[in-house]
Structure 1
Amino acid sequence: MEMEQRPITLPNGKRSSIRLDEPTWAAIDWLAERSGQKWAVWCNNVIETVTEGENATAALRAAAMDGILAETLFPERAAQHADPSSVTWKNLAECGDRDFDYALEQAAKDGTIEGHADCGGFTVYSGVSEHGNVTYYIRNNLKDGSNVIINTPYRLEEWAATWSERMEG
């Protein structure tokens, strides 16, 4: 996977650079444009939230994924928040590869995985949980990246109805 490095002036005034994969940069550029910001301003807003010792690059990847999810899969949730990257999910599970593989294997065994999409830096699997809720399994394809499972509050019928409304409107 191609990596791109961009120079940036950090919130503390120091010059640095950020190295991310092209799909993550595309997500950051898109999210920044949607919020009326330059990519560097968007990145600095995320970097300012990073606690000491935390990896700023990992925080940028996570914020980009959260923002893309909020803007595309869950736009009605994003509208409830001024900052799409601050969206939190009540039923969000972050897990390592072993736990993620187990959860995905169980869902596939139960026949609840409906499909998947390769998005470059991550793969999204969609399905329905054992409780009937729409669920997304997001595998981070980057080394040492966290995977995410989002068990939405929507039942399949509700999701289908709201999806149809969004597509018609």
Structure 2
Amino acid sequence: MPAQRADARRNYARILAVAEEEVATHGADASLEQIARTAGVGSATVRRHFPTRHALLEAVFRERIQALATRAHELSEADDIRAALLDWLGALTVYSATVQGLATALLRAGELDPDHANPCVTPLAEAGEPLLRRAEQAGAVPPGVTPVDLVTLIAGIALAAQHHPDPATEATRLLHLTVTGISPPG
């Protein structure tokens, strides 16, 4: 049994490493069959470790999404809550614009079973909730804005900038343009 467990762990790591490369190259629609072939495993092995495309994407994006969630928690106690919210949205924008496939994954909530949350959006929305509520209380954002609204907005900006020669710079410019329209300073 231990040999199988070690083999399963190696397969998982190999599949994930190949998936990261494939998603970086081909985006969220990377072929699961190509991932299996490149990893040297069967499609059933990929599906055993990652039963859905969304589960695979969640694993690919997990580390950076967790870092963005941690950043939101850190910023939620900042004195200047508007600046803190914009800092977090800026980090989310740059990451979404520079990692092919993430923005698409963030927008795919409608493809999931209604009983399950989008595995890419949920941790970001949960982490951003306290930050957003404090910003709302301070009048930095209008009432009723949800964390999912913000993640969707950022994903849209990232998609709009994805074919620009410098997607991160263009996405950041579009975010600043949007922010100026929805929450002018002071």
- Highest relative contact order (Cα 8 Å, sep 6+), 1 or 2? 2
Name which one, 1 or 2, has greater alpha-carbon Rg: 2
Higher strand share: 1
TM-score, L = length of structure 2: 0.26
Higher helix share: 2
TM-score, L = length of structure 1: 0.27
